[in-house]
Chain A
Amino acid sequence: MLNFVSPRLALSYLLLCTFSCIGVLQLQAARQRLDGLSLWGGQGARWWGYIVGLSLIFGSFAAFYTLAPNLFVPGLAGSELVILFTAGFALALVITLAAASLAAPRPTEAAMEANEGKAVAAPQLGGWVYAPQGSGPFPALCLVPEIGSPAADLGIVAAQLRDMGFVTLSIDWTAEGDFPRYPDVLALVPSGVRYLLQRPEVDRRRIGVVGFGLGGDLTLRAVGADEQIAVAVAVDPYLSSEPCDPGLDLLRQRSLWQAVRWKRKHKAQSSMAKQLNGLAFLSQILPRPLLILHSPQHSLSGLPNEVETRSLPDDHREGLPWRQNVARVIGRWCEEHL
Chain B
Amino acid sequence: MTGKLWAVIRREYLERVRSKAFIIGTIVGPVLMGLIMVLPVLIMGKGGKLLRVAVLDASGVLQSEVEESLREARRDGEPRFDVRPRGSGTAEAREEALKQAVLDGELDGFLLLPEDVVDASSASYYGRTVSNQRDLNTMRWMLRDLLVAHRLTDAGLDPEQVRELTRDMDWRTIRLSEEGEKEDEGLGILLAIILLMILYTSILMWGQVVMGGVIEEKSSRVIEVVASGVPSTQLLAGKLLGVGAAGLTQFLVWSLSLLGISLATAGPMASGLPIPEIRPLVLVSFVVFFLLGFAFYASLYAAIGAAVNTMQEAQNFIFPIIIPLILGLVCFPVVLESPDGTLAVVLSLIPFLTPLLMFLRIVILTPPWWQIALSLALMGAAILGVLWVAGRIYRVGILMYGKKPTFPELMRWVRHT
A pairs with B: no
Q: Which B residues form the contact surface with A (CB < 8 A)? A: none
